Amino acid sequence: MDAEINNKTSRTFCIIGDPIEHSLSPLMHNAAFKKLNLNYSYIAFRVPSTELSESVESLKRIQIAGFNVTIPHKVNILKFLDDLDNDAQLAGAVNTVKNENGSLIGYNTDIYGIINPLENKISDFNGLKILILGAGGSCRAAIIGLSRKKGIKKIAIFNRDKNRLNEAISLGNKVGIDCYPYDYSDSTKLYEVSKSSDMVLNTTSVGMKGELSPIEASYITANTIVFDIVYKPIHTGLLLSAKKANARLIYGYEMLLNQGYKAFEIWTGLEAPRDTMKKTLFGIFGEP
């Protein structure tokens, strides 16, 4: 991370997180750069929480052009940035950073990444009851996006960390949407809420390591929309349970692509080559 960038016509981008070896962002963005004949590159860095501050300083020293932020840094990254756009400030979470003449500006493209796939599945959000697993940065993005849809009845949020949970609930209250806190370890309540929900959204990393579904198929109703932001493996435990229950599935790669389109456009000022980015990922997965 300390190597100097000497070629002024080249630009380097990256993603930071922990874990990071699963990330497909380098594949997606490098394909987009190649398609548009840009002399840009994109790499991944594993950054443990204890090294976030010094890692951001290293990125500034090498004049990184921009970077993505993933679990677990989407909230803590804010203290190391120079400014935020309106959505990032409102959400209190950042997943995209642009270096503007030495100033690091934070954006939240997760909002679009979550809402656009939902809009493709839902024509009317009125009266929806929603269950969200997790209360981190992606949950915050979901709350902001969903608050812009009229008529959502309630959002139940399950999380282990009570501070994070309370912060997410407060955000919901701030943007005018009724959110209710629950302890993630209370499986009885989780199953009860799941059975009465029209949509289930997993914003945690559960499923990334092949874990079993946090909600069994018998507690997911048919036609419920189940959206898992984990994109590798493509068929997470939760989505397999949802499929067994005849629910409507939204895969994690859909969020990955949509937030990536917006990040690309913020960094380059160019329209993202969406077909190229999508086909690059489907080359790995095979379209489900």
Domains 11-108+254-285 and 111-250 share a fold: yes
Q: Looking at residues 247-256, what average pLDDT do you find? A: 97
For the chain, the domains span 11-108+254-285, 111-250
Distance of alpha carbon 4 from alpha carbon 12, whole angstroms: 11
Q: How many residues appear in the chain?
A: 288
Of 35, 60, 74, 79, the active-site residue reads 74
The CATH homologous superfamily for domain 11-108+254-285 is Leucine Dehydrogenase, chain A, domain 1 (3.40.50.10860)
Name the fold adopted by 111-250: Rossmann fold (3.40.50)
Average of per-residue pLDDT values in the chain: 94
- In the annotation, is 150 catalytic? no
48-102 tens-digit pLDDT: 999 999 999 999 999 999 999 999 999 999 999 999 999 999 999 999 999 999 9
124-168 tens-digit pLDDT: 999 999 999 999 999 999 999 999 999 999 999 999 999 999 999
Determine what percent of the chain is predicted with pLDDT higher than 70. Answer: 95
Cα-based distances in Å from 168 to 23, 52, 163, 200, 248: 26, 23, 9, 16, 26
pTM more than 0.85: yes
